[in-house]
Amino acid sequence: MQTRNLGKSDIKITPIIMGTWQAGKNMWIGIEDTETTKAMRAAFDAGITTFDTAEVYGNGHSEQIVGQALSDIRDKVVYATKVFSNHLKYNQVIEACERSLTNLKTDYIDLYQIHWPAGTWNSEIVPIEETMRALNDLKKQGKIRSIGVSNFNRQQIEEAAQFGQIDSLQPPYSLFWRWVEKDLTPYCVENNISIIAYSSLAQGLLTGKFGPDHKFAEGDHRAKNKLFANKDNYQRIQQALDNLRPIAERNNCSLGQLALAWLIAQPQSNAIVGARNAEQAIGNAEAGNVKLSAEYLAEIDSIGRTVTDHLDDQPVMWDF
């Protein structure tokens, strides 16, 4: 898989990135460590070299699984992890980074991201200047190689950029969730900031595996996703998927691969996608080889808007 530069850094990332929220197990059902480990190795063997995690995923468990699965090929992979919104004071950032380094069994993190802005999820409001000072110090020490932000709006990312180089933005972004395009994509293009999209398959919706009457198991956080929970949205999604299926067939790929191929063809955009097992990981990697014509990209775009034109302006995908 052809790599791309991460922002203005010299770090090379793959446009398909393996996400590991599910590896933390918390808020997911039916996840097994052995299967997750096999999925990560299969992803690497299929060409994915970039892996995204966070300290909050299973309280470090996801990071630990990443470290166990990939430590013997550490020099061939890129680690991206995140510090949560309740650890954004100077000393808290330093301590959180040390925990992540231990969990990941490494002495450096390629991309260290602020997971949510200070003040979200009932966290304390900390000046971004203080958080960025900690991140810049970690960068000088060689403990992190680049700085990113996640779930920031344009004003927040502009403010953070006053205090250091921001190489990536991680927003929710998919064919069915396109809030980022309004003003963040133009900013990222102008400032050479990589967009690393999470929920790039709309939490599985874009695979087409959830039928009209799907019900999630108790404890699965996706039940609170606005795309699933709102009946009108869900009906529009099913129609859009029906319209996308012939395009996938003509391009010899699955629905999920089509959605990922569309996403990584958008300006500055890369796709984080999770996998429960090796088969899913390999399928995700193959999306990096799907090349869509301008006509197909436009047709897919139009179908996606039959869903997104009806959504509200709230950027958070869940009603937690």
| Token duo for residue 246 | 């012939």
| Token duo for residue 309 | 């034109």
Residue 148: which H helix or E strand, with range?
A: strand 147-150
| Token duo for residue 160 | 């953070």
Question: Assign residue 56 a region: left if phi > 0, alpha if psi is -120 to 50, beta otherwise?
Answer: alpha
- Beta-bridge partner residues of 81: 112
DSSP symbols for 174-188: BTTB-GGGTTHHHHH
DSSP symbols for 133-154: HHHHHHHHTTSBS-EEEES--H
d(CA 129, CA 131): 6
| Token duo for residue 212 | 């009209």
d(CA 317, CA 173): 10
Expressed in percent and rounded to 5, the helix, strand and coil fractions of the chain are 45, 15, 40
57 is catalytic: yes
Question: Cβ distance 308 to 72 under 8 Å?
Answer: no
Question: Cβ distance 110 to 152 under 8 Å?
Answer: no
Active-site position among 57, 79, 234, 296:
57
| Token duo for residue 242 | 């029906």
Sequence-distant (≥ 6) Cβ neighbours of residue 269 within 8 angstroms: 173, 185, 195, 197, 263
Question: Cβ distance 16 to 270 under 8 Å?
Answer: yes
| Token duo for residue 293 | 């014509």
Sequence-distant (≥ 6) Cβ neighbours of residue 257 within 8 angstroms: 248, 283, 284, 286, 287, 290
Active site residues: 57
